[in-house]
Amino acid sequence: MNIIGIIGFLAAMFLMLWGSTRGYHIIILTVLASVILVLSNQMPLYDTLFAGDQSFVAGMTSFIGRYFVIFLLSAILAKYIENSGAAKSIAQYIISKTGKEKPYIILVALFTFASILTLGGVNLFVAMFVIIPLARDLFQELDMSWKLVVTPYMMGVGTFTMTTMPGTPAIQNVIMADVLGTSLTTQPIFGLVLSAFLIIYSLWRMKVELEDSLAKGEGFEDRFRVKAEEKSEEIPSFFLSISPLLILFLTIIIGSLMKVENIILYALTFAVLLSVLNFNQYIDSQRDVLNMGAINSITSVMAPAVTLGFGTVMSATPSFEMIMGFFQSLPLTPLLSLIVITAILQFVIGSASGVLSIVGEKFVPLYDLSSYDLGYVHRMLLTTPAFMPPHVGAYLTFLDVSKLTHKDSFKQVMISLNGGVALTVVLGYLLGFIFN
């Protein structure tokens, strides 16, 4: 049974990787992969998928039950920023300061804008619907290769704003704080050092990729070209536009210093209420914004929820226990062992939030972390699953919105995003001699 179970484990992983590159939805893939795991491990099909504490449905609903309100408030905030024109106002302000004469400055501006949105609490699933249309217009106007959008977007929404920056409202940061009993701003100096490294690395990668594209004579590809819409609309000022994001971030920092529990909920609530006041005259209907935000929140929360459902089934199988037992038996320190396990789970499952939930529930209690500063552990485990295998839900959504393909973009993802994350984890581990 063990051999068949391991074969089933590998088959489920292959299905996730193969299916994602062929355009199959993550919900379909996680259900089918779970069925393969259940059958190959000779487990009861109905109970493992639908009943009990270790079922697919239990894993999915536990994530939704714990974090849905955060996704709901984030999606509503993002909808206000999008529909009011606040996103366009922030983008225009950044462009006005950088200019449009130099392509590299445009990449930096997009990277900055993506970082501002996600640090302001906008979910990365939602942020792409704001950023990609604006970026496409700029790239088309400047005749820049559309493939260059990958690095500024991915590095802006998926690296330091999600992991190393103290106070980030990203759901992954919230999960680790829940698991370890730390705060969202834990280990601030360590986090700022790693954030600075990721920012510098991102700026370097954007420059290298741009120079390579220009040397090849690449321009904006016809297959991505769209007709620009001619419309004039009143949009809020830059200060009015960015004030809800500033309130959110400042509330998180101050609340974390005061050790306020569930500060992310208060911060998002304040930001949404301020958006209601700030943007009332710039939107057609408050009802429509709230309704669309609610609908978007369901879409956003389902991808990590179903991957956690798959991870829950996987973690209950004998084959998984055997494989993880092997890695746990390696002569590694507790933290390094947790880092290795977290990285493996991210490659298999493809959801940082889902992986961190599983690691927190299944593996952290097995290790004696008393010799570590928990804030240091928080930042290290939070950063590890930030890399993207080809079946990550956020990456698949990005491909759908941008109309790029794996062939167009995965090289940049591997070198820029995944390479940057790997180097940051190594740097963070080495700096543990100072900050731990």
pLDDT at 21 over 80: no
Q: What is the pLDDT of residues 327-371, one digit of tens each?
A: 778 888 999 999 999 998 888 877 788 889 888 888 899 888 989
What is the model's pTM? Answer: 0.76
Inter-residue contact 394 to 303 (CB < 8 Å): yes
Inter-residue contact 56 to 103 (CB < 8 Å): no
Q: What is the dihedral angle through the alpha carbons of 54, 341, 430, 384, rounded to the nearest 10 degrees?
A: -60
Given CA atoms 182, 183, 184, 187 in this order, what sign does their dihedral have? negative
Instruction: Compute CA distances 312 → 111, 150, 180, 315, whole Å.
Output: 35, 31, 20, 5
Q: What percent of the chain has pLDDT over 70?
A: 95
pLDDT of residue 362: 83
Token pair belonging to 164: 């190393």
pLDDT of residue 100: 67
* Mean of pLDDT over the chain: 85
227 pLDDT band, cuts 50/70/90, is low
pLDDT at 228 over 50: no
What's the average model confidence in pLDDT over 368-394?
A: 88
Token pair belonging to 370: 């008393």
Inter-residue contact 198 to 167 (CB < 8 Å): no
Burial label for 188, CB within 10 Å (0-12, 13-18, 19+), is middle
262 pLDDT band, cuts 50/70/90, is confident
